Amino acid sequence: MKPTEAQRVDGPFSGLLVIDLTHVLNGPFGTTILSDLGARVIKVEQPGHGDDTRTYGPFYKGQSLYFSFVNRGKESIVLNLKEERDRSLFRNMIRRADILTENFRPGAMDRLGFSYAELSKDNPRLIYASSSGFGQTGPLKTFPAYDTIVQAMSGLMSVTGFPDGPPDPCGHIGVRSRCRHLDVLRHRRCALCTREDG
C-alpha cells in the first residue's frame, strides 16, 4: 500500500501516529480501527513478502482482499529490523510516534533491542501495546495462538457443529483475535487518557 493511497478520516484519534508491527489478524484488525478513528497508522512489514496475509485469498486485481480488509487506511513501509540502516529509521519513527503495536512472540522485541525500556528512552510518552496469544509470562507464553487453537482450548468448538459430530470451529472469523484486540484498544484509550492527564 503506497502512502498516497492511505486516506485518513477525521476522528477522535486524529493527530495520533501509530507504528504497527503487527501481522495476520490479531493486531492489524485493531490498528485498522485506530485508522478508522482518524489515527495515522504506518504498517512496518518485513522484506520479501511482507505480512503473511498478502498471500491469503481471495484476490482482486492481484491483491489479497483479506489483507486489504485488515489493513485499510494504513501507510506501509518495508524495514529489516536486523539491519542498522533500517533500525535507525525505525528508531526515528518511534521518536515521533504516540503508539507502537506489536504481536510477536514474547521476547522477540527484546532480542531486537526494541523493548519498552529501550524505546521509551527515545520517547518517554510512547504507548507500547504488545498482544500475544497467551501473554508475556507463564508456561504457555511461547505457544502459537491461532483462532482454532484458542477456540478448542476454550471449549467454544464443543458447542458448534452437529450434535453427533466432532468439535467444529466457528468458521474463519477470527473470534479470539477480534475480541482480544478490542480489549487492547480499550487499554490504549485508557493509556492515552492517562498520558494526557499527566
Q: What are the residue boundaries of the structural domains of the chain, listed by start? A: 3-144
Q: How does residue 2 score in pLDDT terms, banded at 50, 70 and 90?
A: very low
User: Among 26-40, 112-126, 180-194, where is mean pLDDT lowest?
Assistant: 180-194
Q: Which of 46-55, 75-84, 139-148 has the highest mean pLDDT?
A: 75-84
Distance CA 13, CA 35 (A): 8
Distance CA 185, CA 105 (A): 19
Pick from 21, 15, 14: which is nearest to 36 by CA?
A: 14
Return the pLDDT at 192: 66
Pick from 117, 143, 129: which is nearest to 20 by CA?
A: 129
Return the pLDDT at 107: 92
105-112 average pLDDT score: 94
Question: What residue has cell string 496475509?
Answer: 53
Distance CA 51, CA 86 (A): 17
Which comes out higher in pLDDT, residue 188 or 109? 109
Q: How does residue 76 score in pLDDT terms, banded at 50, 70 and 90?
A: very high
Name 127's bridge partners.
Answer: 99
For residue 125, pLDDT beyond 50: yes
Question: Model-level pTM greater than 0.95?
Answer: no
Query: In this structure, which topology does domain 3-144 adopt according to CATH?
Result: Rossmann fold (3.40.50)
